[in-house]
Amino acid sequence: MEYIAEPYRIRVIEPIKQTTRAQREEALAKVGCNPFLLKSKDVFIDLLTDSGTGAVTQAMQSAMLKGDEAYSGSRSYFALQDAVKDIFDYDLVIPTHQGRGAEQLYIPALIKKREKDQGLSKDKMTVISNFFFDTTQGHSQWNGCKIVNVPLDTAFDTSTKGDFKGNFNIGALHSTIETVGAAHIPYIVSTITCNSAGGQPVSIKNLKEVYQIAKQYDIPVVMDCARFAENAYFIKQREPEYSHLTIDEITRITFQYADILCMSAKKDAMVPIGGLLAFKDRSLDDVYQECRTLCVLQEGFPTYGGLEGGAMERLAVGLYEAMREEWLASRIQQIQYLVDGLEKIGVPCQQAGGHAVFIDAGAMLPHIPQDQFPGHVLACELYRIAGIRSAEIGSLLIGRDPITGLQRSSPAELLRLAVPRATYTRAHLDYVIAAFKLLTKSCQHLKGMTFTYEPPVLRHFNAQFETIV
Ligand code: F0G
């Protein structure tokens, strides 16, 4: 495929600086071999996340000047509400400071409603997703729920390709509901694209089936939609029924198949900070009211959530900018380019998804057992070789069973290279590929790692490590 030129000009630049290997060795040693803890000034290419790290557009920046900073009833809130209604056809909007800000509202509210409606109080609830993102899982568990992921059997098999590897396994969804009982399931989360499965898209057909099943059992569906525009782009490319539609039209159809929308706007909507919680209509009015109350307590008055007026204006524009098809094409092409370049030099990858490249570290370092964290070993070496920061998605991230304390088994040992939007050029991607070329030559000599400090929860953020010699 021919590489199309970027359909934008870059007019604000941020300097980055290369360091020496000795400087990087020292910087990594100082933070206990955890790249999460590095100072960003010590990183040359930062592929830790695509969240809030991308470029913002001219239109978004200029919209900020229109901010109405009124504590309640801000004009900027209504601009955001209008955009959400227009794009997703959802009536009720609560802005939040980011995705997890919305999660801390809807998750306890939906659980409370289920308990009340079913006359249950202390029974354990179960929630289901194609695959929960860590914070969604964390909030659900924090509120006492058991979580069940029902991805496709092939979702984590990097050697198989598929158009919609992020889809729910419908059979597993059905059997989980039957086993657990719908009364004990306060919500189902459809994650688009499915971040944990490698940024893989979910088809409208699958979302529709999930929604129909949920309706049959009267279970609310939440669309976790940080990367809604990338998902719509893949639908246009891969789901023939929708190939003649625009990204906006596909987006509207997609959101028919949920009751609530929860968005980290730091991804596709390109804002450095911001999130959304929205309800399709008044059918879950009690939950909406509860979320408004929790919002006052935790985020701020419901017409600003955690955001200043200018940030709500910027987000309202960002939601539209996210759906520019030529930008989406350029972005997805970057991910594909990186996957193709890596595969050409023998680096095993999950097929290209939306926002990141997922390298099969388990296959690359077969001599390192899962509990010695091959993905993390690779992340450290990539930083030492080239100053590139990335993140492990595997046993380290998945952590221990909270009851038994035993390491939980991870479906794969991956290394994620998340690509911020419109931030790095093709030369940067070539640099990443060149770094992997060096890495592939030495990786059989790399050794596993173990903790020198292991925090009790969300350990990957603050843990410290040493190499096992
Ligand atoms: N849902 C999904 C699918 C996400 O990818 C994220 C964040 C969240 C919810 C939480 O949103 O960070 O705004 O509070 N993902 C980032 C990442 C952090 O690197 O993938 P948040």
- What does the pLDDT look like over 82-112, one tens digit per residue? 999 999 999 999 999 999 999 999 999 999 9
Would you tell me how many other CB atoms lie within 10 Å of the CB of residue 409? 10
Is residue 428 within 8 A of residue 45, CB to CB? The reply is: yes
* Mean pLDDT, residues 306-310 taken together: 96
Instruction: Determine if ligand 1 sits within 6 Å of the CB of residue 133.
Output: yes
Q: Provide the pLDDT for residue 308.
A: 97
Of the given ranges (91-95, 196-200, 290-294, 322-326), which has the lowest mean pLDDT? 196-200
* Mean pLDDT, residues 311-338 taken together: 98
The packing angle between helices 325-344 and 426-442, to 10°, is: 20
Q: Which residue's C-alpha comes closest to atom 11 of ligand 1? A: 99
Q: Which of 447, 147, 101 is nearest to 305 (CA)?
A: 101
Percent residues over pLDDT 70 in the chain:
100
Q: Provide the pLDDT for residue 120.
A: 85
Instruction: Determine if ligand 1 sits within 6 Å of the CB of residue 42.
Output: no
Catalytic (active site) residue 205 = no
Which residue type is seen at 185?
A: I
Predicted model pTM: 0.96
Q: Which residue has the tokens 């390709």?
A: 161
Catalytic (active site) residue 340 = no
The mean predicted confidence, pLDDT, of the chain is 96
Express each pLDDT in 335-370 by its tens digit: 999 999 999 999 999 999 999 999 999 999 999 999
Burial class (CB in 10 A: 0-12, 13-18, 19+), 216: exposed
Bridge partners (DSSP) of residue 68 are none
Reported confidence tier of residue 440, pLDDT bands at 50, 70, 90: very high
Helix (H) or strand (E) holding 93: strand 92-96
The beta-carbon contacts of 71-79 under 8 Å, at least 24 apart in sequence, are 71/301, 71/304, 72/301, 72/303, 72/304, 73/303, 74/303, 74/304, 74/309, 74/312, 75/309, 76/309, 76/310, 76/312, 76/313, 76/316, 77/303, 77/304, 77/309, 77/312, 79/312, 79/313, 79/316
Catalytic (active site) residue 278 = no
Q: Which one of the listed residues 86, 91, 134, 163 is annotated catalytic?
A: 134
**Three-state DSSP state, 272:** coil
Task: For residue 272, give every residue at least 6 positions away whose Cβ sits within 8 Å of its Cβ, in sequence order, or none.
Answer: 52, 56, 266
Express each pLDDT in 14-46 by its tens digit: 999 999 999 999 999 999 999 999 999 999 999
Which residue type is seen at 195?
A: N
Express each pLDDT in 152-189 by its tens digit: 999 999 999 999 999 999 999 999 999 999 999 999 99
Reported confidence tier of residue 121, pLDDT bands at 50, 70, 90: confident
pLDDT at 1 over 70: no
Q: Count the helices and strands in the chain (H runs, E runs).
A: 17, 14
Strand order in the sheet with 356-360: 356-360, 414-418, 391-393
Q: Provide the pLDDT for residue 457.
A: 78
Cα-to-centroid distance, 251 and ligand 1 (Å): 19
DSSP 257: G
Cα-to-centroid distance, 51 and ligand 1 (Å): 7
Output the six-digit token pair for 27: 């910087």
**Where would I find the beta strands (DSSP E) of 192-320?**
221-224, 260-264, 275-279
Q: Provide the pLDDT for residue 32.
A: 97
Which residue type is seen at 50?
A: D
Instruction: Determine if ligand 1 sits within 6 Å of the CB of residue 201.
Output: no
Reported confidence tier of residue 409, pLDDT bands at 50, 70, 90: confident
The beta-carbon contacts of 437-444 under 8 Å, at least 24 apart in sequence, are 437/345, 438/385, 438/386, 439/378, 439/381, 439/382, 439/385, 440/345, 440/346, 440/347, 440/364, 442/381, 443/364, 443/365, 443/378, 443/381, 444/367
pLDDT at 77 over 80: yes
Q: Which residue's C-alpha comes closest to atom 12 of ligand 1? A: 99
DSSP 200: B
- How far apart are alpha carbons 139 and 129 in whole angstroms? 14
Q: How many CA atoms lie less than 13 Å away from 318 in the CB half-sphere?
A: 31
* Mean pLDDT, residues 113-126 taken together: 87
DSSP string, 296-309: HHHT-STTTTT--H
Among positive and negative, which fits the CA dihedral 41, 42, 45, 47?
A: negative
Q: Provide the pLDDT for residue 192.
A: 98
Q: Which one of the listed residues 266, 267, 355, 376 is annotated catalytic?
A: 267
Q: For a ligand 1 pocket test, name from 50, 53, 195, 200 the mutation site with the most ligand atoms within 8 angstroms of its C-beta.
A: 195
- N residues, the chain: 469
Q: Which residue has the tokens 């109080």?
A: 121
Q: Which of 302, 241, 298 is nearest to 277 (CA)?
A: 302
Q: Which residue's C-alpha comes closest to atom 9 of ligand 1? A: 99
Output the six-digit token pair for 177: 């509901």
Alpha helices in 56-145 (DSSP H): 58-63, 75-88, 99-118, 134-142
Helix (H) or strand (E) holding 241: none
Q: Provide the pLDDT for residue 456.
A: 84
Q: Provide the pLDDT for residue 122.
A: 66
- How far apart are alpha carbons 160 and 165 in whole angstroms? 9
